[in-house]
Every structure is written in structure tokens, then in C-alpha cells.
Amino acid sequence: MMGCWILNESLSIILVLSWLGVNLYLFINTFYWYEEEESFLYTRVILGSTLAWARASAVCLNFNCMLILLPVSRNLISFMRGTSACFRGPWRRQLDKNLKFHKLVAYGIVINATIHVGAHLFNLEHYYWSQSPEAEGLVAALSKLGDTPNETYLNPIRTFHTNTITELLTTIAGITGLLISLALILIMTSSTEFIRQVSYELFWYTHHVFIIFFIGLAIHGAGRIVRGQTPESLLLHNITLCRDHPEEWQVRCPVPQFSGKEPSAWKWVLGPMVLYACERIIRFWRFQQEVIITKVVSHPSGVLELRMKKRDFKMAPGQYVLIQCPSISTLEWHPFTLTSAPQEDFFSVHIRAAGDWTEALCKAFGVEGQPLKEPWSLPRLAVDGPFGAALTDVFHYRVSMCIAAGIGVTPFAALLKSIWYQCCEAQTQCKLNKVYFYWICRDPGAFEWFADLLLALETKMSEQGKAHFLSYHIFLTGWDENQAFHIALHWDENADVITGLRQKTYYGRPNWNHEFQQVAFSHPSSNIGVFFCGPKALSKILQKMCRVYSSADPRGVHFYYNRESF
């Protein structure tokens, strides 16, 4: 019962293993090059194998820094999703894991940065010790180079009495290395799930320290602190003959000459930085475009609906936009799923007050007891997008299971509205012919704003003779004694007491084993898309259900899991 789930997971594993393979190849290849390269033989005499550790980790660090911006280039992802014939089926679903890959690459950066910093700390200690009175022979001779005219130094620590920390912080490599390390620590510590939940604004602002990180990375190698023998010197200074007789340098052997390795980090990151700069230019251009707010609706449970218009705005069900309110913050952009259908002459979002920024926005527009303002008096909004998301694939299946938890229902509003409009157009042919919709919610008041849409859809489907098309299941997980008494009192009525719909509300949590069994039994030999928006814990359960109830037989039923994420 593993089926096509194996194919999807196999592709993910292949991509991760490919990334790991490239990292390992770059690390091992660079490590052995610096361990064996003749021009760095004298450098290895002082530093030992930590030279290779520092340089190998630096190459892997550059590689991962080249990748880190690509998964968060939203316009690039949307372009690949919408126009490339290469990204279909299982490959297309890999695009929905862009944030997972972004995090994976970030871990790669942290690991390689840690190795790089650690190796250079050992290098610094080796440089310092080689200037000590205890140093002798070839090590001492190499460290003294550069004290007389016509010599180039190999050891950047010039005397044993030098304060290595002070010396380090007077170099380009030292200053930029410190800035890069501090920026990376700040970015990683503020990216934890706890920080994002407690203060998304803190996460947002500190993440923009990446600008300092990349600028520092691009110029970090300009100091050329790691030095090797020049090609000209290698021709004149025979290492095999001269390395054992440093006291005869300038007599039998010319003094070896050294230079720093040319910086290369900028070559790795220039392309992605230009691409990301183009992303920001597109965002700035969209920021300048006028957004007209046509209607503001305050729904129960602190949900604000904004209806807007924008010139040449085209969308598909399931897409999302980034919204900025300059009067609240000139830097913050927050993602919100579009809840309108493409057939409507406006686009809308539903926003729940769940943080500092959203609370300020709801207050500015008026919710829960505050007087709603006229459109002309409302704060200005900027909109970037729309961008593609996993839900845009829902029409690619004959059967789809749409599962929402709490405010996670918003992505499915656009989908259900689009289905409603397609039902109105008799000539429209749609591959999708069955939708199972599940909504799990704790607060009965939250159902109110969405129940009208379900009621209209329920009525229209019945009129068109397509009552079987949509099967919806609403689960209420929280209620008090008064509500329970009221529910019991009106249980026998035709309309549900909570939603007003014909389909009764379920109380408690769904039995997912039962639900998946029923769907699999009703649709044998079908490819079924499972689309979810909600918390991570439930996502893991649904992912497991898709794996368990997908058939190993290619002719059997297969569940394809898709999670909405921004």
C-alpha cells in the first residue's frame, strides 16, 4: 500500500542526496587538492591539515550560499510552476517544498561555517605559535620571511608579541568574518519556530541581515590571508631540493615568494544575488501600483475581509499575495491566500488578528466593535503577487480531498467559489469531478463567514443536478455546556444549528483512517490529490495516511499529498 507515495518521496530523497553528493564531492575534492597541491606545501608546514579543512568548508559554504536565495525567489518559483513543461506531476510537487529546501541549505551553511571558523581559529593559533622562540627549522624560517626587502611573507602574524585578536580585527578577512558570523547567528536563532510564533516581526527584520551576510561574504576573501607559493617562485625554487635546507636559501636556492589566493566567493553568489535583486525590483514596481479597496467586511472571531482591485491583476484558485501596509511598517510584507475566485471582478483576502502586525491592520480597518471606515479613508495597501502554491494543482485531479484547520480554510474559499462559477457555466468542462472538503475548527463563530459560501454552493449544486460533486464535513472541536444543550435541542431540525447547512456538523475530531478508507473504496484505480492547510502535527498524520492508503499496484488508488505553505 505504498504506491506513488514512494515515487514522490523518492524524488525528494534523490534531490536531497544530490545536494549532499555535490557537497561531499566539493569538500573531498577541495580537501585533497589543498593537501597535495605543491604551491601550498610551505603553508601546510605551518598550518597542517587545518588549511584543507578551512578551504574545503569554504567551497561548500560558497556553494550553499549560491543556493540559499533560489527557493525564496517567489517569481522564479511561480514561473517554473506555471510555464515549464519540465515541472509536471511529481516534479511539480517538489516546488512546493521550496521552504524545506531553503532550511536544509541553511543547515548546510551553518555546518560549513562552523567548520570554517573552527579551522581558522586553529590556523591562527598555528601562525602565532610558529613565531614563538620554541619554533625552529623550516617552520621558523618560513615565519621570518617578509622581514627583509624583496621578500613576501607567508605568516600574517609578524611577531610572537602580537595580539592575535587585535591583528585579526585589522584585516578585511577578520572584520568581514566577524560580521558574517554574527549575522548568521542572528538569522538562525531568530528563525526558530518558537520565535516565529511569538514574534513574526522579529523573525522578519532579523532575516534581512542576510544583506550584510552576503556583502561580507563577497569581500571576505579580498584580504587574501591564506597564502601560497607563486607559480613563478615554484619554477625557480625547487621545493624537493630546497625544503630541507632553509639555512641555504639565498645561497643555493632563491627565497620562495608567496601571494594570497584570489577571492572566489563573489563568483558563486553574484548570479543568485542579481536574481534576487530583480525579485526586489519587481516587488518595488508592484508596490508603486495603485490598490483600490472596494469593501471591508468584519467577520466574527476577529476575521477581517478586504476586497480590492488592481490593474492587470490575474489570479488562479489557491494562489497567495504579499501585503504591505506602509502606515504600519515600511518593510514588512505578509503572505495571505486569496479567497476570491478568478471569475470575480475583485480579489480578496481574509485576515485573522494573530500577531502585532495583523492586530494593527485589523485595528486600522476596524473589526469587532470598531466602526468600519469608508474606503477613501482607509490606509494605503501595497500588493505583490499573486504567487503559485500547492492548491493550484487541485483541478489536475479527478478526485481531490481538501482539508483545512481553523483559519487554514481561507485557501479553499477561492477554490470553492471557482467551482461555484464553473457550475454556473454549463459549457465549462472540468477534469475535477469530486471534491471531499473537511474543515476542523475550535470556535463555532468561525464558521459563520464561510457558511454562506457553502450554503450558496450547496444550493447551486443541487439546482444543477450535481449534488454529488461536493461532499463536505465540518468538525467542531470546542464547545461549552450551553452550546451543547442548544445543539441537542435543535438536533432534529433540517438545517444544522451551527452552520445553517443541510449537512450536519460533526463534534470531535475526524477518524482519518475511516475517511481515507471510504475515499479509497469509493474511487478505486484513481489518483487522488490531498490538499491541506493547517498545523504541522495534523500535516504529519495526513502524510502518513496518504502513504498507508496508497496502493503498491500502479493500477490501484494513489493519494498525492500537498501542503499549503508560504
pLDDT tens digit sequence for 539-549: 888 988 888 88
Whether residues 345 and 404 fall in one domain: no
Quote the pLDDT of residue 3.
44
Rounded to an integer, what distance in angstroms lies between the CA atom of residue 109 and that of residue 106?
5
Q: 167-184 pLDDT, tens per residue?
A: 778 888 889 999 999 999
Q: Output the CA angle 244-247-251, nearest 5 degrees.
A: 105
Mean pLDDT, residues 378-391:
81
Whether residues 17 and 66 fall in one domain: yes
Residue 5 pLDDT exceeds 50: no
255, part of any domain: no
231, part of any domain: no
Burial class (CB in 10 A: 0-12, 13-18, 19+), 471: middle
Question: In 335-409, which ranges are continuous DSSP H helix?
Answer: 356-365
Query: What mean pLDDT, rounded, does the chain reach?
Result: 81
Residue 23: pLDDT band (50, 70, 90) is very high
Quote the pLDDT of residue 97.
76
Residue 356 pLDDT exceeds 90: no
Q: 51-86 pLDDT, tens per residue?
A: 999 999 999 999 999 999 988 888 787 777 665 444
Question: In terms of residue numbers, what domain contains 437?
Answer: 392-451+466-480+490-563
Quote the pLDDT of residue 85.
46
Q: Residue 441: CA atoms inside 13 Å, Cβ hemisphere, count?
A: 23
CATH number at residue 340: 2.40.30.10
Rg (C-alpha) for the chain, rounded Å, is: 31
Residue, of 461 and 161, whose pLDDT is higher = 161
Cell numbers for 180, please give them: 558574517
249, part of any domain: no
Whether residues 337 and 403 fall in one domain: no
363, part of any domain: yes
Whether residues 115 and 187 fall in one domain: yes
Residue 491 pLDDT exceeds 50: no
Residue 20: pLDDT band (50, 70, 90) is very high
Task: Name the range with the highest mean pLDDT among 33-37, 161-165, 243-247, 457-461.
Answer: 33-37
Question: In 248-317, which ranges are continuous DSSP H helix?
Answer: 265-288
Whether residues 46 and 147 fall in one domain: yes
Mean pLDDT, residues 130-153:
84
Q: Are 50 and 122 in contact (CB under 8 A)?
A: yes
Number of structural domains in the chain: 3
246, part of any domain: no
The predicted model scores a pTM of: 0.77
Residue, of 135 and 485, whose pLDDT is higher = 135
Whether residues 333 and 428 fall in one domain: no
Q: Are 395 and 430 in contact (CB under 8 A)?
A: yes
Quote the pLDDT of residue 393.
75
Closest Cα partner for 255 from 272, 232, 227?
Answer: 232
The reply to whether omega before 386 is within 30° of 0 (cis) is yes
Q: 31-40 pLDDT, tens per residue?
A: 999 999 998 9
Whether residues 363 and 406 fall in one domain: no
Residue 489 pLDDT exceeds 60: no
Rounded to an integer, what distance in angstroms lies between the CA atom of residue 204 and that of residue 446?
28
Q: Residue 473: CA atoms inside 13 Å, Cβ hemisphere, count?
A: 15
50, part of any domain: yes
CA distances, 405 to each of 208, 451, 507, 518, 520 (Å): 31, 15, 14, 21, 22
Q: Does residue 158 sit in helix, strand or coil?
A: coil
Whether residues 324 and 398 fall in one domain: no
Rounded to an integer, what distance in angstroms lies between the CA atom of residue 96 and that of residue 360?
30
Residue 433 pLDDT exceeds 90: no
Residue 428: pLDDT band (50, 70, 90) is low
Side chain identity at residue 504, one-letter code? K
Rounded to an integer, what distance in angstroms lies between the CA atom of residue 110 and that of residue 119?
14
Residue 561 pLDDT exceeds 60: yes
Closest Cα partner for 200 from 85, 110, 329?
Answer: 329
CATH number at residue 543: 3.40.50.80
Whether residues 278 and 358 fall in one domain: no
Residue 400 pLDDT exceeds 90: no
Q: Are 303 and 407 in contact (CB under 8 A)?
A: yes
Rounded to an integer, what distance in angstroms lies between the CA atom of residue 556 and that of residue 230?
66
Mean pLDDT, residues 141-147:
84
- Would residue 346 be called left, alpha or beta, if left means φ above 0 and alpha means ψ between -120 and 50 degrees? beta
Quote the pLDDT of residue 29.
96
Whether residues 106 and 206 fall in one domain: yes
Closest Cα partner for 437 from 416, 422, 419?
Answer: 416
Whether residues 38 and 69 fall in one domain: yes
* Percentage of the chain exceeding pLDDT 70: 83
- Would residue 82 be called left, alpha or beta, if left means φ above 0 and alpha means ψ between -120 and 50 degrees? alpha
Quote the pLDDT of residue 53.
95
236, part of any domain: no
Rounded to an integer, what distance in angstroms lies between the CA atom of residue 534 and that of residue 442?
13
Residue, of 11 and 498, whose pLDDT is higher = 11
Quote the pLDDT of residue 476.
79
252, part of any domain: no
Task: Name the range with the highest mean pLDDT among 47-51, 331-335, 447-451.
Answer: 47-51
Whether residues 351 and 419 fall in one domain: no
